[in-house]
Amino acid sequence: MVESGGSGRPRPDSEESAERHATPAPPPAAPEETPAEAPDTAADKRHGPSEETTDESEPAEAGTAEETKPQDARPAGAPDPAGRTPDPADLHPDRPLAHSTPSLGETPTPAKGRRRPPRPPETRGGLLMGRPFGVPVYVAPSWFLVAALITWVFGGQLDRVLPGLGAARYLVALFFAVAFYASVLVHELAHTIAALRFKLPVRRIQLQFFGGVSEIEKEAETPGREFVLAFVGPLLSLVLAGLFYLAMQTVEPGTVPGVLLAGLMISNLIVAIFNLLPGLPLDGGRMLRAVVWKITGKPMTGTIAAAWVGRALAVSVLIGLPLLTQSGALGSEAEDSVGMDTVLDALLAAILAAIIWTGAGNSLRMARLREHLPELRARNLTRRAVPVETNTPLSEALRRANDAGARALVVVDAHGEPVSLVREAAIVGVPEHRRPWVAVSGLAQDLTEGMRVSAELAGEDLLDALRATPATEYLVVEETGEIYGVLSAADVERAFVKAMARPS
């Protein structure tokens, strides 16, 4: 099966918090410095965006600006380096999702409740096997469990069909398991080649429990392309089944090659038929989505229809598969399907049903995310900013910003060109009595090319731009190069959560 948009499935159901990002008041400062010492203090702290504005002798408390680093901020909805679209609640694990907007420099009250622990680092998806067509192919750890299960089950069948093999039957069965998943890889490569032909980026292919996944980062632009993109996978599985059938005609039946070819033919036929079932997240569900999209002209309508058919299919598998097995309709005698076999059939049906049901729900959430992405516009989310010179004391800069009703500071050079952005998290970490002695340059992050974004960016283009250069603040400019304001990653996050909270 193929997933458009990646396996990093968004979880947009998180509710927006009602409180501002809480940064507790800093601990008591060291003995007050004299004005003569202030320049040296400010100069000592101009080492980059992660430097602290409090003395080293002061103990750091949880939730202070010390913990907020630009590289940890990620715009809402933007896929992480592993490629998955994160839950907005996970974008900033050390602070609430949404916050009120006090005046610039005001220390907000602490947020209530426990702080969420940091997320563990993302894995790349398993063991890297290669990069066909430039797309990395990973084997998930769950594959080894399934391969062992296939080896055990198929080895037992070989003992009945070819009793003379002895213990070597498990080597033959292992070869079958590897060859079967090689067929699954061909199925996924068909999706990948079609996506690349349509100029849709493919993040990776992952072989995992019950098949594989092609993580395509963007939606097809037309229902016709969506249909083709989904259909090529089952088509290749049908072609492989036909090739294995033709190869069977060249070998003796009842031999190891004959049994292997027969098993591969049947398994590829099952993969093709299963994926053609008309319900998301299966390929047949995406084909159904494309058809409804073509008829109605609305991709969201197609997604809703295919997702609900997928959920109905999950219920049918949960109930119908054990009944079919018990009735003998799948090739075994009804009286033989009792005991442990009955339990295994029910377990298999439950796993398949859970995979289909969960995939259908994830497809709905992904479609909902894409529907609301255009509402994220850089121009609408940008904070008004005031320019300040490099050596301007923080207290004076804050006074100017508050007088102008601005909520951001842009450090400019002698010619008025922006050189850095003052970090809000660093501002609130400076005690008020020290602000007259701290220059804004000591709290600023130098501007890089990626931190300049156009005011016209919106939706996925905006998220792609922010993802390319992770930071807490970005300089928003007009097409003429004129400064428009400052965009905070936290504001994008909050707008994303609000948009996702609204019904489709």
Instruction: Quickly list DSSP for 402-468.
Output: HHHT--EEEEE-TTS-EEEEE-HHHHTTS-GGGGGGSBGGGGEEE--GGGEEETT-BHHHHHHHHHH
Supply the pLDDT for residue 10: 34
Q: Are residues 106 and 148 in contact, defined by beta-carbon separation less than 8 angstroms?
A: no
Give the helix/strand (H/E) hosting 44. Answer: helix 38-44
Average pLDDT over residues 484-495: 90
Catalytic-residue membership of 188: yes
Share of the chain above pLDDT 90, in %: 41
Most confidently predicted of 124-128, 239-243, 343-347, 366-370:
239-243
Say whether pLDDT at 494 is over 70: yes
Cα dihedral value 49, 50, 53, 57, nearest 10: -160
Higher-pLDDT residue of 352, 25: 352
Helix (H) or strand (E) holding 100: none
Summarize pLDDT for 314-371 with one digit per residue, the tens: 999 888 888 877 766 555 554 444 555 677 778 878 888 888 898 888 888 888 777 7
Residues 142, 145, 150: CA angle, nearest 5 degrees:
125
pLDDT at residue 435 greater than cutoff 90 = yes
pLDDT of residue 103: 56
Q: How far apart are CA 471 and CA 63, in angstroms?
A: 18
Residues 253-304 pLDDT 10s: 888 999 999 999 999 999 999 999 999 999 999 999 999 999 999 888 999 9
Distance separating alpha carbons of residues 472 and 70, to the nearest angstrom: 5
Which of 188, 215, 217, 493 is labelled catalytic?
188
* pLDDT at residue 5 in the model: 38
pLDDT at 161: 83
Question: Please, which residues have CB within 8 angstroms of residue 446's CB and are 6 or more apart in sequence?
Answer: 48, 49, 419, 420
Tokens coding 422: 């003052």
pLDDT computed for residue 104 by the predictor: 63
Please give the structure tokens belonging to residue 219. 């939606």
pLDDT at 310: 93
At 500, give phi and psi (nearest 5°).
-70, -20
Q: Is the pLDDT of residue 80 over 70?
A: no
CA atoms within 13 A of residue 163's CA, in its CB half-sphere:
1
Would you say residue 445 has pLDDT above 80? Answer: yes
Two tokens at 314?
Answer: 């999950």
Query: How far, in Å, CA of 185 to CA of 178, rounded?
Result: 10
B/e letters for 120-148, b = 16+ CB within 10 Å, e = fewer, are eeeeebbeeeeeeeebbbbbbeebeebbe
Banded model confidence at residue 476, pLDDT cuts 50, 70, 90: very high
- Amino acid identity of residue 16, one-letter, is E
